[in-house]
Structure formats: C-alpha cells, structure tokens
Amino acid sequence: MTDKEKLLEKYSAKVYKNRKEHIVQLEETCETQSIAANTRAIPGVMTARGCCYAGCKGVVVGPLKDVCVITHGPIGCGFYSWGTRRNKAKPDEHTDKNFVPYCFSTDMQEPDIVFGGEKKLEKAIDEAMEIFDPKCIMICSTCPIGLIGDDVQAVARRAEEKYGIKAIGYSCEGYKGVSQSGGHHIANNGIMRYVIGTGDEAPKTKFSVNILGEYNIGGDGWEEERILKRCGIEVLNLFTGDASFESLKSAHLAHLNLVMCHRSINYIAEMMKTKYGIDWLKVNFIGVGATCKTLREIAKYFDDPDLTDRVEAVIADELSLIAEDMEYYKSRLSGKTAGIFSGGSRSHHYQVLLKELGMETVIAGYEFAHRDDYEGRDIIPQIKEDADNKNIESIKVEPDEAFYHQTYSKEQIAQFKEMGVEIDSYGGMIPEMNAGDVVVDDYNHFETDALLDSKKPDIFLSGIKDKYSIQKAGVSSRQIHSYDYSGPYAGFNGAVNFGRDVTMALYTNAWSLVIPPWKHEPMLVGRIGGGY
C-alpha cells in the first residue's frame, strides 16, 4: 500500500472522494502533478486552517506599525491576534508611533449585535482619535459584522471626512472564502486601492526594492535588509512586517518588487505590475544558496557592473563568515529526513535550506495554498473558480497615467527568463520534490499523525496546533510559523540559526530519557543456584 492509500484508507466514501484530490504521492515524472487546493475544508476533519479575518488582520494588516487597527466584533478575535505572530516592528523615520504591541477592539455586546454596531464603531474611532491620534485607522470585521449588516466602509469614509485621516474598512468576516487566503486577498485589495500610490517620497538610489510577502517574523526582514543594504540595494518597504502606512504610500516608486511569500501577496505584485509597470521577482532568502541566487538575480535585473561586483563581494564575505558553522550543522544533520506543513510558502522555501544541511524533505503541505503554489503560476489559467472564491473580490487596475513606467520590454523580460531570472513568474513546489514524497493540501490532524507513522521523518516543521502531538509521538518538532520564538531564519545568519535550532531539536539530551531504565531491565535479579 502506498503512503497515500494508507492515508485515505480510514475515510468514509465522501471524505475519501474529497481528500484523494488533495493528496499527491509524487511519481517519477518530469512533469508536475496536479493537486486540488483552495477549496473548502470538510467540517470535522480537524483542519489546521484559520479564517479570513486571520488572513486579513492577523497576517497582512496587523503588522502595519503606524496604523490603529480596530477589530470590529466581540472581544475574542482581537485578543487572539494580539502580539501572537512575531511580526517585529520598531518606529523609524516614517513613524514615531508603533501600534503593534496594542490590541484595539469594539468588544461588541449583545445590544450591539441586536441593534447594529456602527454607532459603537464610530464612537470607538472618536476615542482612538482623541487618545492616540493615528494618521490611519483600519477596521477589520469579524463574523457577526456582515451578518448584522454594519457598513464598515461607510464608517471609514465618515471618519476620513471628520478627521482628515486615512480610514479603511475591511469586510474580512471569518466565514468568507475557505481559509486565511481570502483575507490576504481582501487586505491586498485595500492596500492597493487606498494606500499605494498616494505618496511621493522618491527612492534615494537607483536600486530600490520592496520586499512583498515579508512579515518580519523573528526579524527575517531585518536580516534581508541588512544583506541588501550591504550590496547597495535600497529597501523601501517590507510588506507588511515592520511596514508603515506612511512608507507604503510611496511603494509604487520602487524600481523592483521582490516577492517572498507568493501566496499572501502576489495580488499586489501583479496589480503593481499592471498599474505601475514594476516588475516582480520571486525570491527566496531561506537558505544560503537561495539567498545567493536571489542576490545574483537582483543584480542581473539591475544590470549594473558595480552592483554586480558588490553583490559578489558581499556573497563571498558572508559565505566566509558562516561556512564553518554551516559545515558543522551539516555534519550533524546529514541524512536526516523532514516533513513540513506550513501556510502557503515556507514548505517550498525551507526545502532548499534543509537540503543544504544534508536533509531531505519527504512530506510537504500547505494550509491555504492555491494550485499555483504547488504547480507553478503557469497553471493559473486552468484553475476553475468556485462559489467560495468568487465571493472574494478581484479588483482590476489600469496603467497609471502619471506613474506607469516599464523598465524592460517584453522581449527583454523573456531574455531574463531564459537566463533563469524568475521575473513575474513562480515555479511551484511539486516539481522540486522527489518521487515517493507526499504532498498534502489542507492537511489535517489525522493525516499528520498517519504520515508520521508511515514516513517516519526525523523532524517535523509545523505549527503550534500540531507541535506537541508530534513531539508526544517521539518526533522532533519545531514551529515553522513562529520559529519557536527563535530566528531570524532568513539570509546568511538565519541559515545558521536554523541549523542550530534543528540540531538542538534532534539532539537535546532529554530524548534519551523518554523510556525509564527499568523498562529495559528485568525486575528480578538472581544468581544461578549451586554456584557456591
């Protein structure tokens, strides 16, 4: 029986029919294999997925440090997304106000549900203005808001008129879409529509970039910024880790967009390409080789001999600083196997780094990816929309009269692609994995448990909901969403941190203490008689 068959064996006919499309055991083939993704989860299967609000407020909007993000709803949603995602931020020249450590909510009560919550929301905005005086307020809706018909966009417009600030209402009710992914899209739309393009702060250099889909978890974005700065590349914005509303306004003036988490933010990359002509480059700062490749592709894109030389010098220097550490961790980790279940990008990114450490990834899956994350962007025209996706608005943008500027012609872009520079494209995870490996979309608790049993990986990288059940099963487990409060894992220094943490997870002394000594020793100790 294949691993896939073992996973499906326990399911009823209905669940089997659904799940078999979401699980792929890779075969020896040079073509990508298709997988079902971004469809609704089956009730009761213990999916790891969260909701639309989590994707909008928790992932994209929450990290904006100079924005007072008000959760409109009962207290829970705001509470759970308060300081729990590790999107690090510090005030900078664009903003002296850092709202990230705070939680704002309308804390709706029963009368607000019965009679409507708009009044309370407006009052909450008045109070926020009086106490905090933010330049921008964003309102994130929770489940009841859409049901009772509160118009958060109208409230936002009224707040703008009253206070002369920017206010944006997001209808990101938890039930929308099928996962966090819908919330990412809704947040992207709002930022594109109301924020990007409203500023005029020009880049200081001719090599300026935004890093899209970098949430600065554990300081990843800062490590990327450090490296790029050394190369002479100016980072205008991290989207949206350590980002500010003030700085995002001028994001459209960047020379190039780098895309880290393709899943959560490719909408903005695409829309900025259409509206402003800015090319986007799919990058990966996870892994030493991946980081070098990314830096070289950026240099190729800018096609400047001095920049290319600087990039090579930085790479050589950074490599010399970490070579010894990486060699050591590789010596401890070579031959080990891993499983990774993450949100929508890391399962792909981290395979590169694991490989550098001598490890093979045998199980990989995503919570909320779409088919293009598995199979590459070429598959997008073939993706059929269903009712759940259609409920998430897709906005159309037109070239901006004032700011549209194309750096390269279509022919030149095609030439770049031939050189292996991933401009405006993304290759997907499945083609890079090996025959026999198992890929799971919208993984659930049962499948995680069963795969541990059949594939027996040495370490499993997943989230907090799985972490302790995996560890209880005797398998080393680390959180790849929060890095178990460690990090950064990106860039050159991050690779060393990751190597250290995985080594620690596998070799910590407590593993040898799990079985008590008496389980291996006979209770009765005696001598064979007649010896005296």
Partner 1 sequence: MMDLTPKEVKERSALRVNPCKTCQPVGAMFAALGVHGCMPHSHGSQGCCSYHRTVLSRHFKEPAVASSSSFTEGASVFGGRSNITTAAKNIFDIYNPDVIAVHTTCLSETIGDDLASYLMDIDVPQGKVMVHCNTPSYVGSHINGFYNMMMGFMNYLTKKSGTSNEKTAVFPGWVNPGDIRELKRIASLMNVDTTFFPDQSGVLDAPMTGKYVMYPEGGTTLDEIKGLGDCEGLIALGEIIGIEPAELLKKKWKVPYALLPMPIGVTYTDLYISELRKQSKTEVPGELEKERGRLVDLLLDSHQYTYQKKVAIFGDPDVVIGLTSLVLEMGMIPKYVITGTPKEEFTRKINALFDKYGVSDCVAKANKDLFELHQWIKNETVDIMIGSTYGKQIARAEDIPFIRAGFPVLDRYGHPLLPIVGYIGAIRLVEQITNALLDRFDRDVSDENFEIVL
Ranges within 155-184 binding partner 1 (CB under 8 A): 173-180
- Sorted by sequence, the CB contacts under 8 Å of residue 117 that are 6+ apart come out as 72, 73, 106, 108, 144, 145, 148, 150
Angle of helix 220-231 versus helix 288-302 axis, rounded to 10? 50
Out of 54, 143, 231, 364, the active site residue is 54
CB of 62 to partner 1, least distance (A): 13
Instruction: Classify 417 as helix, strand or coil.
Output: helix
Retrieve residue 369's tokens.
Answer: 């990816």
The token pair that represents 218 in the structure block: 């554990």
Our CA dihedral for 136, 142, 144, 145, rounded to 10 degrees, sits at: 20
- Given 20, 33, 36, 75, the residue binding partner 1 (CB under 8 A): 75
Active site residue 527: no
How many Å apart are CA 410 and CA 426, to the nearest integer? 17
Size, binding site for partner 1 by CB under 8 A: 92
Q: Structure tokens of 19?
A: 């799940």
Binding to partner 1, residues 359-398 (CB under 8 A): 387-388, 391
CA atoms within 13 A on the CB side of 437: 23
User: In whole angstroms, what is the distance from residue 470 CA to residue 449 CA?
Assistant: 7
Q: Could you tell me which of 216, 236, 156, 166 has the C-alpha nearest to residue 195?
A: 166
Residue 36 engages partner 1 in binding (rule: CB under 8 A): no
Q: Which of 105/216 has CB closer to partner 1?
A: 105
Q: How near is the Cβ of 413 to partner 1 at its closest, in Å?
A: 38
98 vs 407 by CB, closer to partner 1: 98
Does residue 143 interact with partner 1 by CB under 8 A? Answer: yes
Task: Name the minimum Å distance from CB 98 to partner 1.
Answer: 7
Q: How far is the CB of 165 from partner 1 (least distance, A)?
A: 15
Whichever of 103 and 397 has its CB closer to partner 1, that residue is 103
Distance of CA 195 to the CA centre of its chain: 21
CB 473, min distance to partner 1, A: 4
Which residues neighbour 12 within 8 Å (Cβ) at sequence distance 6 or greater? none
Residue 184 known to be catalytic = yes
| CB within 8 Å of 50: residues ≥ 6 apart | 58, 179, 180, 367
Return the closest-CA partner of residue 449 out of 433, 428, 434, 471.
471
Q: Compute φ and ψ for 220, nearest 5 degrees.
A: -55, -45
Q: Which is nearer to partner 1, 142 or 351 (CB)?
A: 142
Question: Cβ closer to partner 1: 108 or 363?
Answer: 108
Would you call 520 a catalytic residue per the annotation? Answer: no
Determine how β-strand 476-479 pairs with β-strand 459-462.
parallel
Among 1, 44, 512, 532, binds partner 1 (CB under 8 A): 44
Give yes or no for residue 15 binding partner 1 (CB under 8 A): yes
Per-residue DSSP letter, 87: B
CB of 33 vs partner 1, minimal distance in Å: 25
Site for partner 1 in 446-465 (CB under 8 A): 446, 449, 464-465
Q: Which of 37, 41, 48, 51 is catalytic?
A: 51
The owner of tokens 């590459």 is 376
CB of 474 to partner 1, least distance (A): 4
Q: Which stretch binds partner 1 (CB under 8 A): 152-160, 244-252, 328-336, 444-452?
A: 444-452
Closer residue to partner 1 in complex, CB, 215/416:
215
CB of 11 to partner 1, least distance (A): 7
Whole-angstrom distance, CA of residue 71 vs CA of residue 66: 16
Among 204, 384, 472, 527, binds partner 1 (CB under 8 A): 472
Least distance (Å) from partner 1 to the CB of residue 40? 5
SS (H, E, C) 368-409: CCCHHHHHCHHHHHHCCCCHHHHCCCCCCCCCCCCCCCCCCC
Among 7, 37, 59, 144, binds partner 1 (CB under 8 A): 144
488 touching partner 1, by CB under 8 A: no
Near partner 1 in 79-108, by CB under 8 A:
79-84, 97-99, 101-108
Q: Which is nearer to partner 1, 147 or 323 (CB)?
A: 147
CB of 394 to partner 1, least distance (A): 16
Q: Which is nearer to partner 1, 98 or 425 (CB)?
A: 98
Chain position carrying tokens 């500010």: 244
Q: What span, in angstroms and rounded, lies between the C-alpha atoms of 101 and 85?
A: 11
Place of tokens 């480059």: 281
**Interface segment toward partner 1; rule CB under 8 A; list 136-144, 310-318, 356-364, 413-421:** 136-144
Instruction: Concatenate the DSSP letters of all residues of 449-515 into one string.
Output: HHHHHHH--SEEEE-HHHHHHHHHTT-EEEETTTGGG----SHHHHHHHHHHHHHHHHH-GGGGGSS
**Closer of 175 and 403 to partner 1 (Cβ):** 175
Residue from 113, 319, 379, 506 binding partner 1 (CB under 8 A): 113
What character string, x for contact with partner 1 (CB under 8 A) and - otherwise, covers 398-437? ----------------------------------------
- In the complex with partner 1, which residue's Cβ is closer, 173 or 242? 173
Interaction with partner 1 in 45-74: which residues (CB under 8 A)? 45-54, 70, 73-74
Judged by CB under 8 A, the residue of 130, 324, 401, 418 near partner 1 is: 130
Give catalytic status of residue 40 as yes or no. no
Active site residues: 51, 54, 85, 184
